[in-house]
């Protein structure tokens, strides 16, 4: 159950970072998104979810987190 909660929180954070950060009213967050971190692993939801899944699976020693890109794509298909 804890894994599901962590996956849902991570997917929410990825979607907020990639899709909705441009309408965020706090300017330093927008500068961070479009300035220093405007490279491939941080502006693509699939790449970001893959690397976060790898990091989570190493930290928690649970291979379930490697399915994070799959869950992320499924939620993108449902949302959009």
User: Helix/strand/coil (H, E, C) string of 36-73?
Assistant: CCCCHHHHCHHHHHHHHHHHHHHHHCCHHHHHHHHHHH
Domains of the chain: which residue ranges?
2-79
Q: Which residues contact 22 (CB under 8 A, 6 or more apart)?
A: 30, 33, 34
Instruction: Give the CA angle between residues 32, 33, 36 to the nearest 5°.
Output: 55
pLDDT in tens, 28-40: 666 665 655 556 6
pLDDT at 68 (0 to 100) = 92
Which residues of the chain, if any, have pLDDT below 50? none
pLDDT at 40 (0 to 100) = 66
pLDDT at 31 (0 to 100) = 62
């Amino acid at each position: 159950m804890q894994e599901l909660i962590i996956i849902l929180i991570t997917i929410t954070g990825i979607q907020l970072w990639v899709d909705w950060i441009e309408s965020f009213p706090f300017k330093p967050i927008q500068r961070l998104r479009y300035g220093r971190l405007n490279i491939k692993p941080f502006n693509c939801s699939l790449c970001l979810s893959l690397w976060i899944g790898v990091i989570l699976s190493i930290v928690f020693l649970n291979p379930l987190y490697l399915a994070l890109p799959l869950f992320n794509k499924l939620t993108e298909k449902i949302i959009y």
